[in-house]
């Protein structure tokens, strides 16, 4: 007897939203290339605080990339490829 395989066991297929997000992650490199070509890039600076709490030790600069709709492209979707 075989047990029917359910796609709902796969969290990437659990809902229409999850499927859309999985598809978006698969095309992340193309999204990154498009964002760079269009100039949809911003810098974000965040303070790295000193252990003793007397102000920031330095500021870390982070690059933010945006898709065509203006949504942030999560770095987790492309950082390993870059």
Supply φ then ψ for residue 24, to 5 degrees. Answer: -65, -40
Average pLDDT over residues 44-69: 92
Average pLDDT over residues 38-53: 93
Q: The tokens of 62 are what? A: 């982070």
The pTM of the full predicted model, rounded to 2 decimals, is 0.59
β-pair type (41-49, 56-65): antiparallel
Does residue 10 sit in helix, strand or coil? Answer: coil
Average pLDDT over residues 9-36: 78
Average model confidence (pLDDT) across the chain: 82
- Strands in 35-81 per DSSP E: 41-49, 56-65
Q: How many residues does the chain have?
A: 82
Question: Is 48 or 28 the better-scoring residue by pLDDT?
Answer: 48
Measure CA 2 to chain center: 38
């Amino acid at each position: 007897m075989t047990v029917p395989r359910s796609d709902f066991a796969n969290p990437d297929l659990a809902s229409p939203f999850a499927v859309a997000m999985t598809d978006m992650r698969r095309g992340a490199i193309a999204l990154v290339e498009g964002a760079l070509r269009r100039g949809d890039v911003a810098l974000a600076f965040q303070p790295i605080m000193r252990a003793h709490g007397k102000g920031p030790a330095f500021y870390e600069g982070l690059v933010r990339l945006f898709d065509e709709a203006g949504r942030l492209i999560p770095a987790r979707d492309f950082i390993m490829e870059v």
